[in-house]
């Protein structure tokens, strides 16, 4: 009976946090416009789900996030949509967020809960940034240069610059939101 309740709770968490990802994407609140690109906070529900309920839950929410990213780039295309309709760019890195966030949290949380949550949030966020931009570089460097109107020799520098400009603020915001939310939910539990 306890195991059945646990499965139902995990399914409910996947549904609720996946819905939050979709709502953030549909409303535009999940994106923070920056000069070179859009920073996102849509990965935060993935991280919260992974830390609270485990890597499988986080990976399922990441899957929904990634699939929504494909849908969004097909429904409202932009200059980089050619890359984001590829699941290797938009889905795989988002699935990995749940895995890296959970295990980095577990590695540290035995010593200090808050620190573990913060590290899990930061690592999960950086997994998203590095995973997505890394796959764009590996698979679409030349196409990226054409889409951005830049010299193909500068693609690595430009993508690295985007990673730093977006990745660091995203990791900070992710940590600032995730730590109090997870601690509050754990207190209620």
DSSP letters for 39-68: EE-TTHHHHHHHHHH-HHHHHHHHHHHHHH
pLDDT at 111: 81
Residue found by looking up tokens 């839950």 in the block: 57
C-alpha dihedral, 78 to 80 to 82 to 88, nearest 10°: -130
CB 68, CB 25: distance < 8 Å:
yes
**In whole angstroms, what is the distance from residue 149 CA to residue 90 CA?**
22
> For each of the chain's 189 residues, which pLDDT tens digit applies?
667 778 888 899 999 999 999 899 888 888 777 665 667 899 999 999 999 999 999 999 999 999 999 998 999 898 999 999 999 999 999 999 999 999 999 999 878 999 999 999 999 999 999 999 999 999 999 999 999 999 999 999 999 999 998 899 899 999 999 999 999 999 987
CA 142 to centroid of chain Cα atoms: 25
Domains and CATH numbers, the chain: 2-188 (1.10.1760.20)
**In whole angstroms, what is the distance from residue 187 CA to residue 189 CA?**
5
Total residues found in the chain within this entry: 189
> In 179-188, which positions are buried (b, 16+ CB within 10 angstroms) versus exposed (e)?
bebbeeeeee
Q: What is the DSSP letter of 108?
A: H
Contact partners, residue 54, CB within 8 Å, separation at least 6 = 10, 102
Report the candidate in 114, 109, 128 with the shortest Cα–Cα distance to residue 179.
Answer: 114
Q: What is the DSSP letter of 102?
A: H
């Amino acid at each position: 009976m306890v195991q059945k309740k646990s499965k139902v709770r995990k399914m409910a968490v996947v549904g609720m946090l996946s819905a939050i990802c979709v709502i953030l994407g549909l409303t535009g609140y999940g994106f923070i416009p920056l000069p070179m690109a859009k920073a996102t906070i849509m990965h935060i529900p993935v991280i919260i789900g992974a830390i609270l309920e485990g890597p499988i839950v986080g990976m399922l929410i990441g899957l929904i996030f990634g699939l929504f990213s494909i849908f969004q780039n097909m429904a409202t295309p932009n200059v980089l949509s050619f890359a984001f309709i590829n699941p290797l760019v938009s889905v795989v890195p988002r699935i990995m967020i749940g895995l890296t966030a959970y295990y980095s949290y577990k590695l540290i949380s035995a010593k200090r809960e808050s620190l573990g949550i913060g590290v899990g949030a930061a690592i999960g966020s950086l997994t998203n940034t590095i995973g997505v931009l890394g796959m764009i570089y590996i698979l679409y460097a030349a196409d990226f240069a054409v889409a951005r109107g830049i010299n193909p020799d500068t693609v690595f520098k430009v993508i690295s610059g985007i990673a730093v400009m977006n990745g660091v603020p995203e990791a900070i915001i992710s940590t600032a939101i995730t730590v109090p939310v997870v601690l509050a939910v754990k207190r209620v539990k």
